[in-house]
Structures are given as C-alpha cells and as structure tokens.
C-alpha cells in the first residue's frame, strides 16, 4: 500500500484582493498514498479549503505542481479538468449539496451521466452504493425527506459513484449533531478500511480529525512540520454537559438530556 496517489510539490496560492496580495498557501508539499485517510486541520482562513480546491482540480495553484494518479494536473488545460474531477475525484461538502429535485438514487446516478455505463448499469451501481452507506431503503426519497446524516450518506455515495482515486471531504461533519457526526466519520473510516478508499478530510473539529490515520495541520497557508498519527478512535461527548457518551445512547447518562 505504498502506491502514491497524490503528491504536491511546493504549492503556492496567491490571491489578489483589492490590489493587495494574499498568500493563501505557501510551499505545501504533500505525499498521499493509496488507502490513506488524512485529515487536515486548521483555523478558518488557514488555507484548508484552498488546498482542498486545488487538490480537487477546482482551482489552480500559483506555483507548484499536483500529481494525481501519476498525472500532472497543473498541466491539464482548464477545459479538460472536468474529466479528472469526474473520474478521479469524489467530493463531499459540508452542506451536502444534493440536488433537491432529484431523489437519493438519482443524486447518486448524476456523476455517472455521460460515462460509458448504460442507464441500467448506472442505476444498479447507485443502488449498490446506497446499500453500502446503509440507505437501501430510502433510495426514492428526495433530500428534504431525509435527515441531515442521511443526506450526507447520499452525498458520500455520490462521491464514490465513479470509483474515484480520492475522496475529498470539506467539513463533512460541520452541519451535523454529535451523534450523526460520529456515524458519518465511522462510515468514512469504514470505507477507508474496507474498500481502501483514499480520503482527505478538512475539518476544524479535532475529535473528527483524530479518527483519520494521518493528521495534518495548516496555519497561515503553511503545513506544520509535525504530522500526528490519528488514533482511529473518536470519543463521543454530550453537547450539553461534555460528559463522554456511547453511540447507542439516546439520553446523556450525565445530564439526562436528549442527545
């Protein structure tokens, strides 16, 4: 499992904001191997999202190179980047970003539109993916009929639709309550462990971050030298009193309130 999936060299990103230059990323060099589960932490404005956008081929660096699955994507013309986004990358967003007028299975089918798969094959694959994320019974529900956690599961299934080399998750638990947060992180680490999916997750939640195998920190656009090893363990705490709880608890054993 030492195959290199993603590699960045000396990434710089400079924005121009009202004539003033803002350095969002500075000399970021990163190696990510196939099967890695990586979390990137950092305060807001530290450049996490910029890095993720560049890794996801939504943005281009000012300097430096990004190799994805052996391809130097910084050399790929902008009009062809969609192919890389379609085939090599899966996105999971903080706000899920499902199409509200499509049901769960249709949302998962969406990225497969325009691929070689027939409509039947697309439907079959979407069905399998929804089963994998534990939503096989809710495939015909539209997003507004699903809970936040369920919506994020659909989004994860959608991210996996084209069997991407890498899944990029931007604050995937940012809009979820403690219990759902736990479920989603567990799902991600399960996918990583069982399917070998490479996951890069941006978060400012240290609890969530610690569930990843590798933990990186960004500050002022610079990658901190010290890389931590994740614990793969995430402690659940009550959002009311801060006492540790278990995943199957409905009421907090400490304060007795509904979790």
Expressed in percent and rounded to 5, the helix, strand and coil fractions of the chain are 30, 25, 40
- H helix intervals, the chain: 48-55, 81-88, 104-109, 119-132, 148-159, 178-190, 206-209
Q: What is the CA radius of gyration of the chain?
A: 19
Q: Please, which residue, 218 or 238, has the CB nearer to another protein?
A: 218
Which one of residues 9, 12, 59, 249 is an interface residue with another protein (CB under 8 A)?
59
φ/ψ of residue 116, rounded to 5? -70, -15
CA-based diameter of the chain, in Å? Answer: 57
Quick one: 52 or 238, whose CB is closer to another protein? 52
123 touches another protein by CB under 8 A: yes
Q: Which two tokens stand for residue 108?
A: 């998962």
Q: Tokens 């990323």, residue?
A: 25
Please state the closest distance from residue 234 (CB atom) to another protein, in A.
Answer: 26
Cβ closest to another protein, residue 5 vs residue 162: 162
Residue 48 has φ and ψ, to the nearest 5°, of: -55, -50
Site residues for another protein, 92-121, by CB under 8 A, read: 93, 95, 97, 99, 101-102, 105-106, 109-111, 113-114, 119-120
Contact between 13 and another protein by CB under 8 A: the answer reads no
Q: Is 91 one of the binding residues for another protein (CB under 8 A)?
A: yes
Q: Name the residues that contact another protein, by CB under 8 A.
A: 53, 56, 58-59, 79, 82-83, 85-87, 89-91, 93, 95, 97, 99, 101-102, 105-106, 109-111, 113-114, 119-120, 122-123, 140, 158-159, 162
């Amino acid at each position: 499992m030492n195959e290199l999936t993603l590699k960045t060299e000396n990434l710089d990103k400079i924005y121009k904001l009202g004539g003033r230059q803002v350095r969002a990323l500075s000399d970021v060099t990163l190696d990510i191997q196939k099967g890695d589960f990586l979390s990137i932490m950092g305060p807001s404005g530290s450049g996490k999202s910029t890095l993720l956008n560049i890794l996801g081929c939504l943005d281009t660096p000012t300097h430096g190179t990004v190799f994805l699955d052996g391809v130097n994507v910084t050399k790929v013309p902008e009009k062809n980047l969609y192919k890389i986004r379609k085939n090599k990358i899966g996105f999971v967003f903080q706000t899920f970003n499902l199409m509200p007028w499509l049901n769960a299975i249709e949302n998962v089918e969406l990225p497969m539109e325009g691929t070689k798969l027939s409509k039947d094959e697309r439907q079959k694959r979407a069905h399998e993916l929804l089963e994998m994320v534990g939503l096989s019974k809710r495939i015909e529900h539209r997003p507004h009929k699903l809970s936040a956690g369920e919506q994020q599961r659909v989004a994860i299934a959608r991210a996996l639709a084209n069997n991407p080399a890498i899944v990029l998750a931007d604050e995937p638990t940012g809009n979820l309550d403690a219990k759902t947060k736990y479920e989603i992180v567990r799902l991600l680490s399960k996918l990583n462990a069982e399917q070998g999916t490479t996951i890069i997750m941006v978060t400012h939640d240290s609890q969530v971050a610690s569930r990843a195998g590798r933990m990186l920190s960004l500050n002022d656009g610079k990658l901190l030298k010290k890389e931590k090893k994740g614990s793969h363990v995430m402690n659940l705490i009550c959002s009311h009193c801060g006492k540790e709880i278990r995943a199957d608890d409905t009421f907090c054993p400490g304060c007795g309130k509904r979790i």
